[in-house]
């Protein structure tokens, strides 16, 4: 297939989540999705912007991104980041459904001579991969299956909540046990382990702000992954990946555990399985807990 | 923001009515039937002074100071379990976080000093100034909001993580990433802040 989408990489694509952006672009190239990056995009406000600034300024952040995307064309906007998806999708829907929000955002955009009519659809990259590309077409690109690799598929929160059940949010079948991540794992030739904590929360931004409050949440996720025999945890969310990786030493210190489980993005597993370069394309060399030994055993 | 009424007797509804009309998602709060699905679904429920269910009853009971002074409104992790599970479609997350904004604006003791409020301030500074989140500067500004010595201690405690991130090329050294047209964004956000204030004054 061949399709062009507007692409909103989000701030983490230049920092903690650079390996998500890199590996996803590589995988999308393989399956015929062209990413047209939103010109001069800005931050979406993430999970905390509104606490300080209020709702109109946060909506204006997404409003500018959407105006930039619309000016470049009518194609859907795709983002790989859970929080970017949540904020951008929510603002877009509010502009469509709520005339008051549409008026506020456009009044703010007017200060820079911009406007946005709400005509775009904002989508998560996983939903595009499932519904536009299809798991079979992804699998067809796999040349080096990760045979025998045991993967716990951990979706996290905001990729599916709160929009999974809505028509414009992709109409997923469930909030609590989504199958798409395990489908990606199988497409890569690896083996998904049974994992009930698929949409368990790591603490999100509160884990960054006050890790002490949320270490037990991360321990629960690591406990289940380990008990299920997972060699690696796969996730679509940049904050989930960073939190669960960088706080494993703190979890070990607090609870006397010895976790050292690599946490990777689904797109990294797919990139490697598609025969792309492990470092330049998949970013496997950009981890605090290296996944390279377990992945090379699988090949 | 308009004056937040202080109830004069138990179960005085003036505060609840203000929340219904002024807090994001508050228009659905009156539909809460006290089932407790939200509290039972909350990852940090056990660490809250009160779960969302109890907090919502306290709003109806007119316990304004206890509500706005509670840690409940600061412990929301934005997981949206409560939002998708509430049988009455009460947007619990939105209400909790909007009450946090109210607590800061109303100058509630400790509200500005919470970790979350400090972090939110540092985060917004980066988003508004550069148009992007610079995780290094946000973290540094957040740590040093506690003063020089505590900021230094917090920075040192996280040095291993920072070094690992630099080595993994997930934290860069050098100037912040920024929007090319940060000036344009500044104009938009200034206008948005005026609109936000106008809504506050009118409501």
ipTM of this complex? 0.94
Mean pLDDT of chain A: 96
* Intervals of chain A under pLDDT 50: none
Q: What is the pLDDT of residue B1?
A: 58
Average pLDDT over residues B121-133: 95
Do A204 and A148 lie in one domain? The reply is: yes
SS3 assignment for B9-51: CCCCCHHHHHHHHHCCCHHHHHHCCCCCHHHHHCCCHHHCCCC
Residues A248 and A287 reside in one and the same domain: yes
Show residues of chain A in contact with B116, CB under 8 Å: 48, 51, 206, 209-210
CB contact under 8 A, B119 and A14: no
Segment B146-171 shows an average pLDDT of 94
| Residue finishing a domain among B75, B105, B135 | B105
**Within-domain flag for A137:** no
Among candidates B44, B131, B181 on the partner chain, residue whose Cβ is nearest the Cβ of A43: B131
**What's the pLDDT score for residue A50?**
86
Q: What percent of chain A has pLDDT over 70?
A: 100
Please give the pLDDT value at position B203. Answer: 46
Instruction: Give tens-digit pLDDT for B24-75.
Output: 999 999 999 999 999 999 999 999 999 999 999 999 999 999 999 999 999 9
CB contact under 8 A, B193 and A205: no
- d(CA A179, CA A172) in angstroms, rounded, equals 9
pLDDT-derived band at B201, boundaries 50, 70, 90:
low
**For the purposes of burial, counting CB atoms within 10 Å of the CB of B110, is it exposed (0-12), middle (13-18) or buried (19 or more)?**
exposed
For B197, the enclosing helix (H) or strand (E) is helix B182-202
Domain final residue pick, A69, A99, A125: A125
Query: In this predicted model, what pLDDT tens digit does every residue of A248-275 receive, in sequence order?
Result: 999 999 999 999 999 999 999 999 999 9
**Whether B131 and B194 share a structural domain:** yes
**Which residues in chain B have Cβ-Cβ distances shorter than 8 Å to A207?**
77
The answer to whether residues A243 and A167 belong to one domain is: yes
CATH code, domain carrying A121: 1.20.1050.140
Please state, in angstroms and rounded to a whole number, the distance separating the CA atoms of residues A160 and A157. Answer: 6
Q: What are A106-136's pLDDT values in tens digits?
A: 999 999 999 999 999 999 999 999 999 999 9
CB contact under 8 A, A42 and B131: yes
What's the pLDDT band for B199 if we cut at 50, 70, 90?
Answer: confident
Domain hosting A38: range is 3-125
**Bridge partners for A36 per DSSP:** A6
Contact assessment for residue B74 and residue B116, using Cβ atoms and an 8 Å cutoff: yes
* Mutation for testing the A interface, residue in B170, B171, B174 having most A CBs under 10 Å: B170
The pLDDT value given to residue A138: 98
Which residue matches tokens 């997404």?
A62
pLDDT at position B105 over 90: no
CATH number for the domain including B76? 1.10.1060.10
Is B32 part of any domain?
yes
Residue B4 lies inside a defined structural domain of this protein: no
CATH of the domain at A220: 3.40.50.11810
Inter-chain residue contact A286 with B192, CB threshold 8 Å: no
Does B116 contact A210 at a Cβ distance shorter than 8 Å?
A: yes
Asked if B80 and A158 come within 8 Å (Cβ–Cβ), the reply is yes
Q: Please tell me whether residues A21 and A84 are part of one structural domain.
A: yes
Residue A136 lies in a domain: no
Q: What is the pLDDT of residue B109?
A: 77
Q: Last residue of some domain: A70, A91, A125? A: A125
Same domain, A187 and A237: yes
B74: containing domain: 14-105
Answer whether residue A130 is part of any domain.
Answer: no
Three-state secondary structure along chain A? Answer: CCEEEEECCCHHHHCCCHHHHHHHHHHHHHCCEEEEECCCCCCCCCCCHHHHHCHHHHHHHHHHHHHHHHHHCCCCEEECCHHHHHHHHHHHHHHHHCHHHHHHHHHHHHCCCCCCCCCCCEEEHHHHHHHHHCHHHHHCCCCCCCCCCEEEECCCCCCCCCCCCCHHHCCCCCCCCCCHHHHHHHHCCCEECCCCCCCCCCCHHHHHHCHHHHHHHHHHHHHHHHHCCCCEEEECCHHHHHHHHHCHHHHHHHHCCCCCCCEEEHHHHHHHHCCCCCCCCCCCCCCCCCCHHHHHHHC
Is the residue at A275 inside a domain? Answer: yes
B97 touches chain A (CB under 8 A): yes
Full DSSP string of B52-116: HHHHHHHHHTT-HHHHHTSSGGG------HHHHH-TT---HHHHHHHHHHHHHHTT-TTTTTSHH
Number of domains in chain B: 2
The answer to the question of residue A131 being in a domain is no
Establish if B136 belongs to a structural domain: yes
Looking at the fold, whether B96 and B121 belong to one and the same domain comes out as no
Q: Are residues A148 and A289 in the same domain?
A: yes
**A277 shares its domain with A246:** yes
CB contact under 8 A, A52 and B172: no
Number of domains in chain A: 2
* Residue A138 within a domain: no
Whether B164 is in a domain gets the answer: yes
Q: What percentage of chain A reaches a pLDDT higher than 90? A: 92
B95 and B18: one domain? yes
Of the candidates B131, B177, B190, the beta carbon closest to that of A111 is on B190
A147 shares its domain with A273: yes
Kindly give, in sequence order, each residue whose CB lies less than 8 Å from that of residue A32, ignoring residues fewer than 6 positions away: A1, A2, A3, A133
Could you tell me if B119 and B101 lie in one domain?
no
pLDDT surpassing 50 at residue B114:
yes
In contact, A172 and A182? CB cutoff 8 Å = no
CB–CB of A41/A65 below 8 Å? Answer: yes
The verdict on A185 and A227 lying in the same domain is yes
Q: How many CB pairs under 8 A join A and B?
A: 190
In whole numbers, what is the pLDDT of chain B averaged over residues?
Answer: 93
Task: Tell me: do A194 and A220 sit in the same domain.
Answer: yes
Q: Which residues of A touch B173 (CB under 8 A)?
A: none
Question: Considering only CB atoms, which chain B residues are within 8 Å of A291?
Answer: none
Q: Are residues A164 and A208 in the same domain?
A: yes
Residues in chain B closer than 8 A to A41 (CB atoms): 179
The interface residues of chain B toward chain A in range 10-39, judged by CB-CB distance below 8 A, are 24
Q: Looking at the structure, tell me whether residues A208 and A75 fall in a common domain.
A: no
Residue B7 lies in a domain: no
């Amino acid at each position: 297939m061949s399709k062009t989408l507007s692409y909103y990489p989000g701030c983490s694509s230049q920092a903690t989540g650079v390996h998500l952006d890199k590996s996803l672009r590589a995988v999308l190239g393989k399956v015929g999705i062209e990413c047209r990056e939103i010109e001069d995009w800005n931050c979406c406000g993430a999970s905390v912007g509104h606490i300080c600034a209020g709702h109109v300024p946060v909506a204006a952040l997404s409003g500018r991104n959407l105006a930039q995307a619309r000016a470049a064309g009518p194609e859907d906007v795709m983002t790989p980041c859970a929080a970017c998806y949540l904020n951008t999708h929510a603002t877009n829907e509010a502009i469509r459904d709520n005339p008051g929000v549409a008026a506020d955002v456009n009044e703010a955009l007017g200060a820079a001579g911009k406007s946005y009519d709400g005509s775009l659809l904002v989508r998560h990259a996983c939903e595009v991969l499932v519904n536009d590309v299809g798991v079979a077409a992804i699998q067809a690109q796999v040349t080096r299956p990760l045979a025998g690799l045991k993967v716990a598929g951990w979706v996290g929160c905001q990729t599916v909540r709160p929009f999974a059940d809505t028509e414009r949010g992709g109409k997923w079948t469930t909030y609590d046990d989504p199958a798409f991540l395990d489908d990606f794992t199988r497409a890569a030739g690896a083996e998904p382990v049974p994992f009930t904590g698929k949409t368990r929360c790591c603490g999100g931004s509160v884990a960054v702000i006050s890790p002490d409050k949320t270490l037990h949440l991360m321990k629960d996720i690591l406990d289940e992954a380990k008990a299920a025999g997972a060699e690696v945890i796969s996730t679509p969310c940049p904050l989930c990946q960073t939190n669960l990786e960088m706080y494993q030493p703190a979890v070990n210190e607090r609870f006397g555990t010895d976790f050292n489980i690599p946490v990777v993005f689904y797109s990294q597993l797919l990139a490697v399985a598609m025969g792309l370069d492990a470092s330049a394309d998949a970013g496997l060399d950009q981890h605090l807990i290296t996944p390279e030994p377990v992945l090379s055993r699988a090949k | 923001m308009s004056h937040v009424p202080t109830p004069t007797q138990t179960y005085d509804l003036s505060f609840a009515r203000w929340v219904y009309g002024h807090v994001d998602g508050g228009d659905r709060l009156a539909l809460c039937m006290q089932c407790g699905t939200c509290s039972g679904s909350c990852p940090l429920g056990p660490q809250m002074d009160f779960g969302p269910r109890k907090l919502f009853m306290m709003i109806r009971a007119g316990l304004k100071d206890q509500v706005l002074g509670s840690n409940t409104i600061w412990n929301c992790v934005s997981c949206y379990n409560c939002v998708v599970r509430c049988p009455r479609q009460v947007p619990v997350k939105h209400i909790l976080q909007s009450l946090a904004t109210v607590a800061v604006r109303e100058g509630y003791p400790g509200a500005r000093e919470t970790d979350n409020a400090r972090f939110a301030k540092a985060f917004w500074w980066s988003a508004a100034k550069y148009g992007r989140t610079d995780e290094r500067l946000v973290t540094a500004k957040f740590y040093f909001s506690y003063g020089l010595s505590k900021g230094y201690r917090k920075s040192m405690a996280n040095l291993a993580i920072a070094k690992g991130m630099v080595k993994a090329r997930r934290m860069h050294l050098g100037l912040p990433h920024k929007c090319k047209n940060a000036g344009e964004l500044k104009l938009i956000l200034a206008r948005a802040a005026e609109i936000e204030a106008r809504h506050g004054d009118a409501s």
